[in-house]
Homo-oligomer: A and B are copies of this chain.
């Protein structure tokens, strides 16, 4: 039996997991992300933690396929990142440095892309080869799997789903400087904005009027109670998201679209709304695209990181 480590480096914590090659998660744990001094301790801390786990479990280096890593930045095919603000890193050769520290093979990918691969391997996308994952969190991110592999692009910046334009008439600016990005409507922040705009338009009664600055959770909770104003807000959110996803589908032709991130915790109740607008806008060849809510939660990153390493090893054999 062969093993593989999956590592998901975030701005606050590093999540780590030990997997079998077949996809059993044997152990998972976390360490703190030490960002001080340009994050110079992060990779040595990861190496230390993995070595201890290896000794604890009595696993030889030869039994380990390698280490897959997800980082919150664009990553080149060689595992090079530039200016990872969240971690304090400037230019960093992740594969090379971590390999030197551990004597193990290393493969690094963007965290959102890697999470998509995780959902495909062990989550909502099990068995799929062509899948979009869209992550609705503070912002909107995502990953695209095509023919079983992460689409990375020339700058490691593929699948920037949050910045597909869905509203040419928008006047407010997105964080990226453009106007009309999907992120302005489908992120947690975006839904909060849609709610504030809707509530300011008239005095129609709504349970949301009793909530100060209603957020995405409040909106979906109100929807579950049958609140008509909340439903209008969800329709707006779904219209922009469905439109954006239809445009991504006509380019990538996925079998399945997985919705993840904090906003997706509202659950299956959002799917019929998203599907309705997707079908209205989707090309005929994409009408059978499936939809599912992500199910790995915070483990998607470590799962996908391990899978990235496992797949890469197979390619090299």
| Chain B residues, Cβ within 8 Å of A74 | 285
Give the CA-CA distance A147 to B153 in the complex, in Å.
Answer: 7
**Given A129-B154, A146-B158, A160-B283; A165-B254 close (CB under 8 Å):** no
Q: Is the CB of A155 within 8 A of B253?
A: yes
Q: Is the CB of B163 within 8 A of A250?
A: yes
| Chain B residues, Cβ within 8 Å of A161 | 250-251
Q: Which residue of B lies closest to A160 (CB)?
A: B250
| Chain B residues, Cβ within 8 Å of A308 | none
Quick one: which of A154, A156, A163, A286 has the most chain B CB within 10 A? A154
Q: Is the CB of A251 within 8 A of B160?
A: yes
| Chain B residues, Cβ within 8 Å of A164 | 247, 250-251
Give the CA-CA distance A168 to B170 in the complex, in Å.
Answer: 13
Q: Is the CB of B155 within 8 A of A285?
A: yes
Q: Is the CB of A156 within 8 A of B253?
A: yes
Chain A 169-192, CB-CB to B under 8 Å as 1, else 0, gives 000000011100000000000000
Report if A252 contacts B (CB, 8 A): yes
Q: Is the CB of A253 within 8 A of B152?
A: yes
Q: Is the CB of B283 within 8 A of A176?
A: yes
| Chain B residues, Cβ within 8 Å of A176 | 283-284
> Can you name 9 A-B residue pairings with CB atoms under 8 Å?
A77-B147, A130-B153, A153-B252, A153-B254, A154-B253, A159-B253, A168-B168, A176-B283, A251-B251
